[in-house]
Amino acid sequence: MTTNRTLVIVAHPNLTESRANATRLAEIKDLDNVTVHNLYEAYPDFNIDVAHEQQLLREHDTIVLQFPVYWYNVTSMLKAWIDAVLVYGFAFTFDGSASALRGKKAWLAVTAGSTLETYAADGLARRPLDEYLAPVTQTLEFCQLDYQGFHAVYGMMIEPSDETLALDAKEYRRLIANRETPVG
């Protein structure tokens, strides 16, 4: 079923102190056919309503996971959400029957403190960011989602200008509004 609706799952623990993620969210908040779902706001005690989350996923055909990189990983809420929501019978089976997520498009919207140069074999992070995202992308593909890539802003620790973040957020809005997906 095609719904032409995009679900943006946001997993940032402190949006009031955020620059990159908050700028992105402000830029997409008026878009039609887009549901923005803030997990830390919905579940301050990490008590995830699994049935509600699964219903939201069913009702959208493009899923965007938006989060800052924390210790080369997703934030703890996003990991809790993945573990609770993407369960056997809903997100995957072993008997050949289809996942409820089959064919939905999925992509990642990430923000990183370190620079792009840091995410290289000769940089402090020692590998590119996509290698750190592999557990998530493999999870999405295992659940038969159609993984499209990631949209990243790097170097938040060197405090990019407001203009740089505004440009990043405009590109984010453009991708979502046009139902396009990132190249990365």
Q: Which of 5, 18, 40, 146 binds ligand FMN (CB under 6 A)?
A: 18
Cα gap 4→10, rounded to integer Å: 19
Q: Which of 16, 30, 71, 178 binds ligand FMN (CB under 6 A)?
A: 71
Number of residues that bind ligand FMN (CB under 6 A): 15
111 binds ligand FMN (CB under 6 A): yes
**Positions of E strands within the chain:** 6-10, 34-38, 62-68, 105-111, 146-153
137 binds ligand FMN (CB under 6 A): no
- Tell me the closest approach of the beta carbon of residue 169 to ligand FMN, in angstroms: 11
Radius of gyration of the chain (CA): 16
Cα gap 97→94, rounded to integer Å: 8
Phi, psi of 9 (to 5 degrees): -95, 115
21 binds ligand FMN (CB under 6 A): yes
Q: Which of 38, 70, 128, 146 binds ligand FMN (CB under 6 A)?
A: 70
- Tell me the closest approach of the beta carbon of residue 80 to ligand FMN, in angstroms: 16
Helices (H) and strands (E) in the chain, counts: 7, 5
- Tell me the closest approach of the beta carbon of residue 2 to ligand FMN, in angstroms: 32
End-to-end CA distance of the chain: 27
Contact positions vs ligand FMN (CB under 6 A): 12, 18-21, 68-72, 111-114, 156
